[in-house]
Amino acid sequence: MVESYKTVYEEGQDEVVEKKSRFIAVVRAVHSEEEAQAFLEEIRKTYWNARHHCYAYVFGTNSEMQRCSDDGEPQGTAGKPMLDVLNAEGLHDTMVVVTRYFGGTLLGTGGLVRAYQKAAKSGILASTVIEKNPGKKLMIYTDYTGLGKIQYILGQRGIHVLDTSYTDSVVLQVIVSVEEEKAVMAEITEGTNGQARMEEGKTCYFAVLNGEVLLFEEESA
């Protein structure tokens, strides 16, 4: 499992206009070349009468898969500038397609670079971007006397509780980052004088969006 990384959770779309040329950017999460190709074909069908559909994407455990295309624009004026934006934003598993409707006025090399980068940034801003963190699910079993201490520890560390079951004892399911898992378990053991019992669960990625915890099965970034 790799470290934390940023990616698109919900796709976004925006448009910029430069000298009457329209640059329509759509940003989406992709995890393979097949997904990237399907996304590109979808955009081409949607904007079938446009002159250019330039794109850039990056995915892979270490962002080793990076591709871009100028799609008929002067070399180096569209795909690479957009790829630079994705990398500058630290995005993984992400693709941006910018469709251009020519407005009749040539923008020049520098103008095209700026327009495509601006469109890509606008598309990213219109998207919902999250940070996925490697984590572990942890089950905590405690009696009621130890509950307050455990809740205090979790609160101090900003650890999110996924579920709580109250019967004759209490069972809490939480998500902790991989890097602090051992420290959390040790602190809970010490804080409850060894009375709390813990079980490690599955490794996964998690993100927090608007206060809600999102869980993702283990995957490559």
Could you say which of 96, 126, 156 is where a domain stops? 126
Q: Quick one: 53 and 153 in the same domain?
A: no
**Is the pTM value of this prediction over 0.85?**
yes
**E strands along the chain, which residues?**
5-10, 12-18, 21-29, 52-59, 65-69, 94-101, 128-142, 160-166, 170-177, 197-209, 212-217
Q: Quick one: 148 and 90 in the same domain?
A: no
CATH of the domain at 206: 3.30.70.240
Q: Quick one: 18 and 84 in the same domain?
A: yes
Could you say which of 107, 126, 145 is where a domain stops? 126
Q: Each residue's pLDDT tens digit in the chain (221 positions)?
A: 568 999 999 999 999 999 999 999 999 999 999 999 999 999 999 999 999 999 999 998 778 899 999 999 999 999 999 999 999 999 999 999 999 999 988 899 999 999 999 999 999 999 999 999 999 999 999 999 999 999 999 999 999 999 999 999 999 999 999 999 999 999 999 999 999 999 998 899 999 999 899 999 755 44
Q: Quick one: 101 and 169 in the same domain?
A: no
Q: Quick one: 64 and 87 in the same domain?
A: yes
CATH of the domain at 12: 3.30.230.30
Q: Quick one: 96 and 200 in the same domain?
A: no
Q: Quick one: 120 and 135 in the same domain?
A: no
Rg (CA), the chain: 23
Q: Quick one: 122 and 135 in the same domain?
A: no
Q: Quick one: residue 160, left, alpha or beta (phi over 0 = left, psi -120 to 50 = alpha)?
A: beta
170 DSSP β-pair partners: 142, 166
Give the Å distances, CA to CA, from 29 to 9, 36, 146: 7, 9, 43
Q: Quick one: 98 and 189 in the same domain?
A: no
Could you say which of 85, 110, 126 is where a domain stops? 126
The total of structural domains in the chain comes to 2
> Under 8 Å CB-to-CB from 178, ≥6 apart: which residues?
1, 134, 135, 136, 203
pLDDT of residue 221: 42
pLDDT of residue 220: 43
Distance CA 155, CA 20 (A): 53
Cα of first residue to Cα of last residue in the chain, in angstroms, is 8
Q: Quick one: 119 and 201 in the same domain?
A: no
> Under 8 Å CB-to-CB from 89, ≥6 apart: which residues?
6, 124, 129
Q: Quick one: 137 and 117 in the same domain?
A: no
Domain enclosing residue 121, as ranges: 5-126
Residue of 175, 176, 165, 159 whose CA lies nearest to 142: 165
